[in-house]
Structure 1
Amino acid sequence: MLCLELIDAGLILTQQRGEGVTVLSEAPGVAVLEDAATVTGEPAMQRIRVKPLQAQTNYWRALSTESLTRPSRLVRTTADVAFAQASELLEPHKSDSEGVLLAIPAGYSREQLGLLLGVINETGVSVAGVVDAALAACSLESAPARALHLDLELHQALLTVLDYAGTKGGGDHGGLKRNRYEIAPRRGMMALHQTWMQMIAENFVRNTRFDPLHDASSEQRLLNMLPTWLAELAGNEKLTLSMQFGDRPLEVEVERSQFIAAAEPHYAELLRLVQDARVAGLPIELRVSQRVASLPGLTDRLSTLRDCVLKVLPRGAAALGALMHRATIERTPDALALVYQLPLERAEGNTASTAHEATPPQLRPTHVLYQGRAWRISDRPLAVGWSPAADRSLVLPSAAPGLSRSHCTLVRRNGSVVVEDRSTYGSFVNEERVVGETVLTVGDRLRLGSPGVTLDMIQLVQDDGAPQD
């Protein structure tokens, strides 16, 4: 079984054979549209500054069938570009493949997900399952009450909030589920690289009067050398950077602190993302990709956050996690769905002794919000539907499509808030269908029916900040 981790800063293709997993290839989601060929991956990265008008760097995220501003003879849409790169990655392994799992970052629309499945299937390798990339990456080890996952794509940073949810029955494992995500545009790898290239160029101008950014070829050489210099910063406080100008080698000395200072606006935004996702009174368990960990000084900054436990995930963590949970993710072609929750043991070896693991008070909803009004959730069930027959009820519009008379019930039980689905058309927590019942946490979005209506799980607090009883 293959797995493709679709983070455009570094698409990683892995293959599982028996108990072993091998990384087959890694390539940036970059393309250059030439008349005779569509060049993708690292060869394209080696020429995007020389051929900027033919370069494409956002086609995975901007996946569509709309015409490109500058199409080539071979490709006309971002979907065509994505297909070209997917074909290049998957073609060598098509004959011995059982299919491919896709680990996809948050933020794709339903239309884009459908188009993505079509693009991959068109390569001749069938899609066997789809999972949220951050969820898969964090599923390599046991789940805390809440985990934050931080990764960088080419053009944006992505923070994903994942919560542990108990399951019914004391012998069953709980699960880790994606709760929500936040995107910081213009804080991806390309913006960071441009910032550092500008800083390096200024040092060359100041010391040698040579500006590497003045000419496309020297700008490309600077971009090509940057990853090597960044890697060397891991064990050095100073670097001597060399570039060739004509027949003259030019050198400047740059300190690690200069790289960190130049990236400060980006790092500050990443810290804000993490801080905004934390819950008062709870420590942060922050899991970061190898990309994040490789940036000079960033993990040091993140570690200064109060009550922050920082863990660096292995290369290709999302692909590794997806293959580990293959049995849960894999579906038949007519039942493919993006998986938002994976079965996982609770951290510290906790096992449920009641029907559900108790949710930490800071994550336990006290009310459900619908059309600006909040209904209290208590140990007395709250029936939800267009005509529920119950003492406590939230009545929804009867004309809304996909709603049942008594659609679901919300109740507080054993220290958790539980939704019990009773409908014909389904209840969905953060777009994952509820099978029987599931635990809810603050920030969850409960969609009833399709398109149906959406309810928000909120927490109201006392004057001292404690959750209302």
Structure 2
Amino acid sequence: MSLCVLEFNDTGLALGDERSLCPSSPGYANIGREPVLIGAAAQAQARIDPRQTLNQFWMRLGTEPLHHARALARHHADLAYLHLLQLHEEAGKPDELIFAVPGSFSKEQLAILLGIAQRCPFRAAGLVDAALAAASSVPIADSALHLDLQLHQCVLTRLVREGDTLQRVGVRVLPGTGLLQMQERWARHVAAEFIQQTRFDPLHSAATEQQLYDQMPQWLDILNQQSDVGAGLLNGGNSYHAKLRVADMLEAVRPLYLQLSEALAADSGTLLLSPRIARLPRIGQFLGAATALEPGAVTRACLRHAAIIRCDDQALRFVTRLPAQPVPSGSVAPDPARPQASVNHAPAVVPSHLVLGARAWRLAPGCLYLHRDERANWQLSRRALDHATLVLSWEANAWWVSSVNGTTVQVDGVTLQRSLRVSAGTRINLPDHGDTGMRLIVEESVTGNGA
């Protein structure tokens, strides 16, 4: 029985096994034709036929009716179904698929995805977080941040290592920083260069606009290695050429690159870049020290851990923990060299205990998870249980708090959006659990329950 891995990312869904990967298929659909065009064929018509082209059906996966519904395309879930059928056909009709999904998918979207899969001529055999799978392919000493690029947004996933296990502990979506937003900025700049250098506007015609977008990836790849590239476009039998400089192309997307840099500034840990975001021209100049993951890392990791991810039950469990790669002896956790936000803070006092009511837990370096036991009493332990609410992790000589399992966590009255460094005096609340109030203190004489 054949087993393949399907990595979900709307810049290009990738389906493959240990031998090969099929060409990735972007999340585009053109509903103005019968049959509906899906993937690369629809992307090739996106600028020519924009009103009939949809590219949000994976990000907005659901059953809300489309404005221009068709018999085979009533809602985004129908388009996702057609995309899955096409991918399955192109891959040679494998029997089973492991789904590697982005952290941006909600629980409702995961349920819809599995419902769609039940209608498909293959069996969904496993469900795993794609960033976790990718990160499990490289050694991580303490913690990591995985940054990935989608069509309409970027996704930042926080992972922590506990013993021999790597776990996803947080996900942050960065809207408006996707590939399409970057391409639109580059397209406007390229058009301005053609107008200035040749008096030809490639955005004046849908055909040449499509041609510009089709060739853009090749130009960007060259600019990742060179300071300029010669761009050429054809129109009505005429050929137009313009020189594009990497400095100008970077300036066009600087606001978006800076958004990504600022999102990383408050966090620590090894920075991992997906192949998609690592391909962006000179992105490393803005994000600092990072490890670029290899193409196919998700597929290989899923197959390597297939015994853990694969499930024979009808109801799949969502895997957010996997075995971690061994860290070479003598190695140390990287000191993140990413640019930091220039904000002045008072010196932070490292807390020694977490206090909840009359209880106090000593904070010992590592990862500490807060959860309720079978008697509904709060416990702080090193066990990464499925019903844990938050994790306190010791990194870079500081304590960091992260939400887990979708729990709403408030730190000093502000809802936590990503991992946050905390100090003595910090107050933590869990509104979903009766607004449980906790505080971090420094008090060496306190008598409490060590984690």
TM-score scaled to structure 2, two decimals? 0.79
2:354 to 358, 364, 367: 367
Matched, 1:55 2:53: yes
Give yes or no for contact 1:5–1:103 (8 Å, CA) kept in 2: yes
Over 4 Å off, 4+ runs: 92-96, 362-366, 379-385, 438-441, 451-460
1:182-221 equivalent positions in 2, closer than 5 A: 182-221=172-211
Deviation of the 1:429 alpha carbon = 5.4
1:409 to 370, 376, 379: 379
Give yes or no for contact 2:353–2:363 (8 Å, CA) kept in 1: no
1:67-466 equivalent positions in 2, closer than 5 A: 67-93=65-91, 95-97=93-95, 99-166=96-163, 174-278=164-268, 284-303=269-288, 308=289, 310-349=290-329, 366-367=353-354, 376-378=360-362, 404-407=374-377, 409-411=379-381, 418-419=382-383, 427-428=387-388, 442-445=400-403, 461-462=423-424
**C-alpha separation in 1, matches of 2:274 and 2:355:** 34
- 1:96-154 superposed Cα distances (whole Å, 9 cap, x missing partner): 42x11111111222111011011123211111111111100011122220111111000
Deviation of the 1:50 alpha carbon = 0.8
**C-alpha separation in 1, matches of 2:309 and 2:358:** 35
Give yes or no for contact 2:369–2:383 (8 Å, CA) kept in 1: no
Residue identity opposite 1:22 in structure 2 = S
Give yes or no for contact 1:460–1:467 (8 Å, CA) kept in 2: no
Give yes or no for contact 2:369–2:389 (8 Å, CA) kept in 1: no
**C-alpha separation in 1, matches of 2:352 and 2:217:** 45
Counterpart for residue 433 of structure 1: none
SS in 1 for 2:21: strand
**C-alpha separation in 2, matches of 1:255 and 1:316:** 31
Over the residues paired in the alignment, what is the CA RMSD in angstroms?
A: 3.4
SS in 2 for 1:4: strand
Residue identity opposite 1:445 in structure 2 = S
Q: Quickly say closer, same or farther: Cα 1:459–1:156, change in 2 above 3 A.
A: closer
Deviation of the 1:297 alpha carbon = 1.2
- 1:362-409 superposed Cα distances (whole Å, 9 cap, x missing partner): 99994277xxx8963228999976xxxxxxxxxxxxxxxxx8434553
Counterpart for residue 16 of structure 2: 14
Segments of 5+ residues of structure 1 without an aligned counterpart are 167-173, 279-283, 352-361, 386-402, 412-417, 431-437
Q: Quickly say closer, same or farther: Cα 1:335–1:440, change in 2 above 3 A.
A: farther
Segments of 5+ residues of structure 2 without an aligned counterpart are 332-348, 395-399, 412-418, 426-439, 445-451
Counterpart for residue 32 of structure 1: 30
**C-alpha separation in 2, matches of 1:149 and 1:453:** 22
- 1:422-466 superposed Cα distances (whole Å, 9 cap, x missing partner): xxxx73457xxxxxxx9967434366xxx9998999875249xx9
Residue identity opposite 2:88 in structure 1 = L
Deviation of the 1:176 alpha carbon = 0.7
Give yes or no for contact 2:99–2:124 (8 Å, CA) kept in 1: yes
- Aligned pairs, number: 396
Give yes or no for contact 1:368–1:458 (8 Å, CA) kept in 2: no
Counterpart for residue 6 of structure 2: 4
**C-alpha separation in 2, matches of 1:49 and 1:446:** 41
Give yes or no for contact 1:146–1:164 (8 Å, CA) kept in 2: yes
Residue identity opposite 2:234 in structure 1 = Q
Residue identity opposite 1:5 in structure 2 = E
Q: Quickly say closer, same or farther: Cα 1:467–1:259, change in 2 above 3 A.
A: farther
**C-alpha separation in 2, matches of 1:324 and 1:285:** 22
Q: Quickly say closer, same or farther: Cα 1:264–1:176, change in 2 above 3 A.
A: same
SS in 2 for 1:69: strand
- 1:25-64 superposed Cα distances (whole Å, 9 cap, x missing partner): 3111111113311111111111111111111111111011
Counterpart for residue 389 of structure 1: none
Q: Quickly say closer, same or farther: Cα 1:250–1:71, change in 2 above 3 A.
A: same
SS in 1 for 2:141: coil
**C-alpha separation in 1, matches of 2:83 and 2:389:** 33
Q: Quickly say closer, same or farther: Cα 1:13–1:404, change in 2 above 3 A.
A: same
**C-alpha separation in 2, matches of 1:221 and 1:459:** 47
Q: Quickly say closer, same or farther: Cα 1:363–1:194, change in 2 above 3 A.
A: farther
SS in 2 for 1:90: helix
